Structure 1
Amino acid sequence: MKKYPVEEEIVRLTNFIREKGGDATPIDADKIVTGEWVRMKCLFGCNGFGRRFSCPPYTPTPAETQAALDGYSRALLVRFDGDVGKTTPERLVSREMTRYVQTVMFELEEMAFYDGFYKAFGYTGHQCGWCGKCTAKEKGAVITDCKNRRKMRPSMEAAGIDVYATCAAAGWELDVLECTEVAGGSVLNTPMTTVMLLLVE
């Protein structure tokens, strides 16, 4: 196994993401921002709370995430703009998009791992899309019940990372998504941007 210098590896990983239709930029791990308020948004602002093993309360707390971040020096922010599938008022993000970005992030983490960066760990986008039905909703469910733990990763938000502040630290400006309420749900007025993160070294 050949281990590339970290900056060379980041270029390789960035090129991989661009081949997949996204973009990426490096960031120092100490510029990644965590906050307790992020978890509060999951608890009180998202109907996915407790419905997927990739979501709170199954995911690391902001403090646990910060402790993990302290073990890294470099990371890669990843973004995809728009959607690759068909959305509906019930689904602001298509199932195809969720599966696509989560597959790409799994492949990215695996690539870094086999390039010698054995600490590589990814934070994906959206609620987990690996299974059609998640057993997290069942009474007494525990994280070890997940059937896809090898591939499943939390989103940045689910782990308490402030995505807006972290992107700003890397020179990316994000706009708040605007939606219009319609029968059966809502539709986006602005394109969706999916932001993810790979801890490298």
Structure 2
Amino acid sequence: MTQGRTPHAFASLCDAARSLGATNVKVISVSDIVVENRVTLKCRAGCIGYGKKLTCPPFVPTPDEFRKILTEYKYALLVKFISPANAEADVICSIYRYWLDPDAPPDKKGAATRFWKDHFNGTGAFAPMMLELERTAFNAGNPFALAFVNGSCRLCEICNVKGGICIHPAQARIPEHAVGVNMVKTAERAEMPIRFPVQGHPELMALLLID
């Protein structure tokens, strides 16, 4: 039974998150999760992966649908990880552009390519960590525990969008921004602020809906 639980009841989950590599973790009320329609607008207008993955818009719950889902939960775990990638503050804001631009100056493109290689290689374990936390929460009596991850799914080189069915449903999870979660504001409410604009090593946040 989970009725009447308080945040202190999830202390073991916080310990598990730290043991898996989280640099910070906190139990928060789902009322502190900020969901905004403009977040998914950024997916539609600014992401090269839009419509290419079943874990991203337009194949996932809309912000309005996610707001309704949140009313069925009481607590969530907010988890912070640190990317091993590093970049100077005056460079990182342009890294994405340099990475995609075939005509970018070679030194800029090289720096961008190194950054994203370090980032993707180093953060590849974060989604499995959140899955392990989800399993831990499930086994602790939270049957509807559900992890959300930072960044789009990397399980397949090409997602089975045409087929319409994920071929790794036990492993694939939705990025929190894909359902409209403003992680910057959510982290601020939890007193776990993210440095933004990004400086040095990016700080990544993930959510685990608990109960």
TM-score by structure 1 length?
0.82
Output the CA distance in 1 between the equivalents of 2:2 and 2:136.
12
Output the CA distance in 2 between the equivalents of 1:98 and 1:124.
11
Alignment partner for residue 208 of structure 2, among 194, 198, 201? 198
Paired position in structure 1 for 2:148: 123
Output the CA distance in 2 between the equivalents of 1:92 and 1:192.
14
In structure 2, the CA distance between the partners of 1:97 and 1:58, relative to structure 1 (3 Å rule), is farther
Mapping of residues 107-118 of structure 1, within 5 Å = 107-118=132-143
Paired position in structure 2 for 1:182: none
Paired position in structure 2 for 1:155: 175
**Could you list the runs of 5+ residues in structure 1 that have no partner in the other structure?**
179-188
Mapping of residues 39-188 of structure 1, within 5 Å = 39-83=40-84, 89-90=112-113, 91=116, 94-136=119-161, 140-142=162-164, 144=165, 146-178=166-198
Contact 1:128–1:154 (CA under 8 A) maintained in structure 2: yes
Instruction: Look at both structures and tell me which one has the larger radius of gyration over its CA atoms.
Output: 2
Contact 2:25–2:78 (CA under 8 A) maintained in structure 1: yes
Output the CA distance in 1 between the equivalents of 2:168 and 2:71.
27
Aligned pair count reads 185
**Per-residue deviation at 1:112?**
0.5
**Could you list the runs of 5+ residues in structure 2 that have no partner in the other structure?**
87-109
Look up the SS of the partner of 1:107 in the other structure.
helix
Look up the SS of the partner of 2:35 in the other structure.
coil
Paired position in structure 1 for 2:13: 13
Paired position in structure 2 for 1:186: none
Identity %: 27
Look up the SS of the partner of 2:154 in the other structure.
coil
**Per-residue deviation at 1:81?**
1.2
Structure with more strand by fraction:
1
Output the CA distance in 2 between the equivalents of 1:104 and 1:121.
13
